[in-house]
Structure 1
Amino acid sequence: MQQLDFAIIDAHIHQWNPYTTPHAAALAVKLLGKHPYLLDKMVRMVNADDLIETVGLTNHVTAPYLPENYVQDIGHYQVEQVVHVEAGWHKNKGKGVIDETHFIESLPFNVETVKLGGIVATADPRDSNFKKILQLHKKASPRFKGIRKMAAVHEDKEIRAWADEPHLYCNKKFLKGFEAIAQNNLTFDAWVYSTQLSDVIALAKQFPETSIVLDHFGTPAGLFGHVGALTGLTKVARENILVRWQEDIAELASCPNVYTKMSGLFMPVLGHQFHKQNRLASKQEVYDLAFPLISHVLQHFGSYRVMFASNFPMDKVSTSLVNIIDAFSDAVVACDASALERIFHHNAKQFYRL
């Protein structure tokens, strides 16, 4: 375990409160919020299996996650500032997405909790009002830094799709609207499954002046176990997922405008079963599973285009945030002893202009 003698910048957290906002689980918690067992049953009944498989446990959808919750999770580590990344605001059509930015600005980020350094909001470049929506986000918060529009759609139809088409980043209307991101000097968070990394490569090459960050190393679904219908079902299948991911990550890294987030490696969609075993992965288990991915990314992206991010609370279902920081920092030092402060602080500060 590394003794970090500096405060971390966490480049990717989520904040929500289904009790007070138009969250997807708002109706369920209003009806059954005081009855956790029944609430769990209701959420499982009304949501598709692919969503449950992605989040692992329903309380990660139904429980609030606010600055004080994050402070509890960070343990003894010092955090200089965090970046909130859009979290599927339920009124996500048109200008309704602005309300999430207002909500994040209203939360108690302060000296007693943690400093909010940036907001990555959402908007759809295909929307005819896209340019206006960007301006409204900017008006809503001086911390507005960029946009994330999720495009994760897997070839396995039983793995949760987070977009309405499989190659959103190649859509002509999307690309036309994307020009406004470059014109406004904003960043773009790209989230895809590893089977779609070629779409991110094409986007990065078409907009070489736009700073793009690949969330969660590109989420190789099924790498650690069976998910969906057949993904990761056998050892050979998992090896093939890894090889394809390695090749595409290496190609993506050749685009100098692309960074990546060392995050999201313990979401259940990767095939982890810890939540089903009713336990959390130990620090050593986190290290052993994550090290091959971290070392490969650092080999190709180098230490100046990789940034630490927790993705909490989404990975909380598999392990603790302290275990993640302990293990990831050890993995970084094992690859490059001089890279620790860049990856856990400097790179996010530079990328998001914090």
Structure 2
Amino acid sequence: MSTKIIDPHLHFFNLLEGQYTWLQGANPPAWSNLDKIKQPISVAELIKSTNFELAGLVHIEAGFDNNQPVKELNWLTKHIKTIPYKAISFATINQSNNAFKLALQQLDHHSLVGIRDITEGHDAERLLSPHCLDNLRHLSQLKLHFEAQFEVENLNITERLISYANQVSDLQIIINHAGLAHNLANWATAIELLAKQPNVAIKFSGFELLMLNSEQQNQCFKHILKHFGMQRVMFASNFPVCQININYNELWQHYRSLCSDDLTWQYLSYKNAASLYQL
């Protein structure tokens, strides 16, 4: 069994220099182990914390400074020096096309491979904006990904995203956190619809944010793998947020236990992330 992994969804925090108003503002999330999540950790310390060989990672924007998100990319250059990495930064997906183009010009950085704009809950309506299609076209022209983070069981939004995927067929769309399942019946339908789009991939992560028991999580995994296949699914940690429930090493051990054969494990833990994120 290979122990080499690429983690395609994690965060490093620099609470002294960055803003992170969502995490350390007036209304921080009511997560268990929040103090542990906020503890600074280096790449070297993360590598030492696991029995798996962390061979690369993808840093996902964490709100360092949403007005000047390039600051986070510049900080990462100083923070991550010993391991290959790529970065997903922040840009508002429903802003005017000219503003979106300017935002991406300001994000010019060697590590950048895509952008994320969290559109959970009512914010998902922003994906219905008439500006989104042109902005996604611009992303594809720049060969950047769109990381979609919303509850895919919202079928109206999912159908719109599928329409975008069809119209911009060379755009890579990656669903974050397994589509944030709550209503499992609607979620399962959405997964089947999304999986029909060859330019959509999905990360299996984020279950510490959901109210699903172990059996339901296992059912989600089987459903995703059945419909997306082993070449469009990635295991990801969402570190350090995963520590709400489990430490980094235990999470990857759990992921390994979900795979019935070594080939599936190799694709989901390493090969797919290496290909999709050019690592």
Could you tell me the TM-score, scaled by structure 2's length? 0.89
- Give SS of 2:2's match: coil
Q: Which residue of 1 aligns with 2:66?
A: 92
Alignment of 1:219-234 (within 5 A): 219-221=180-182
* Aligned equivalents of 1:7, 1:61: Cα separation in 2: 24
SS in 2 for 1:167: helix
Closer, same or farther in 2 for the Cα pair 1:340/1:25, shift >3 Å?
closer
Aligned to 2:14: 17
1:271 to 211, 226, 248: 211
Residue 169 of structure 1: aligned partner: 127
Preserved CA contact (<8 Å) 2:165 2:200: yes
Shift of 1:62: 3.9
Partner of 1:52: 29
Runs of at least 5 residues in structure 1 that lack an aligned partner in the other structure: 29-42, 155-164, 222-240, 273-284
The higher radius of gyration belongs to: 1
Provide the rounded CA distance (Å) in 2 between the counterparts of 1:147 and 1:58.
Answer: 26
Q: Deviations over 1:188-235 (max 9, x none)?
A: 1110023333343233223221011101110114xxxxxxxxxxxxxx
2:191 equivalent in structure 1: 249
**Aligned partners of 1:151 and 1:169 also within 8 Å:** yes
Cα offset, 1:148, TM superposition: 1.1
Distance across 1 between alignment mates of 2:45 and 2:133 = 37
Between the aligned partners of 2:115 and 2:173, the Cα distance in structure 1 is 10
Query: Whole-Å Cα distance in 1 between the matches of residues 38 and 176 of structure 2?
Result: 23
- Distance of 2:72 and 2:13 partners within structure 1: 9
**1:63 maps onto 2:39 in alignment:** yes
Structure 1 distance, partners of 2:22, 2:236, is 25
Alignment counterpart, residue 202 of structure 2, candidates 248, 255, 260: 260
Equivalent residue letter for 1:87: A
The residue aligned with 2:243 is 316
Measured in 1, the distance between the counterparts of 2:73 and 2:223 equals 35
- The answer for the alignment partner of 1:214 in structure 2 is 175
Distance across 1 between alignment mates of 2:125 and 2:45: 35
- Aligned: 1:151 with 2:119: yes
Contact 2:13 2:38 in 1 (8 A): no
Equivalence for 1:104: 76
Q: In the superposition, relative to structure 1, how do residues 133 and 299 fare at CA in structure 2: closer, same or farther (>3 Å)?
A: same
Runs of 5+ in structure 2 lacking a partner? none
Counterparts in 2 of 1:109 and 1:316: CA distance versus 1, 3 Å: farther
Does the CA contact (< 8 Å) of 2:6 and 2:270 recur in 1?
yes
| Sequence identity percentage | 24
Aligned to 2:165: 204
Residue 103 of structure 1: how far off its partner (Å)? 1.3
Once the two structures are TM-superposed, the CA of residue 72 in structure 1 deviates from its matched residue by 4.5
Count of aligned residue pairs for this structure pair: 274
The aligned amino acid for 1:58 is: L
| C-alpha distance after superposition, 1:302-325 (max 9, x if no partner) | 001001111101111111222221
- Please identify runs of 4+ aligned residues in structure 1 that moved more than 4 A: none
Give me the whole-angstrom Cα distance separating, in 1, the residues matched to 2:62 and 2:254. 26
Give the whole-Å Cα distance in 2 for the aligned partners of 1:305 and 1:246. Answer: 16
1:247 and 1:312 map into 2 onto residues whose CA distance is: 28
| Structure 2 residue aligned with 1:82 | 57
Q: What do residues 58-83 of structure 1 show as CA deviations (whole Å, max 9, x unaligned)?
A: 3256433442442354x211111111
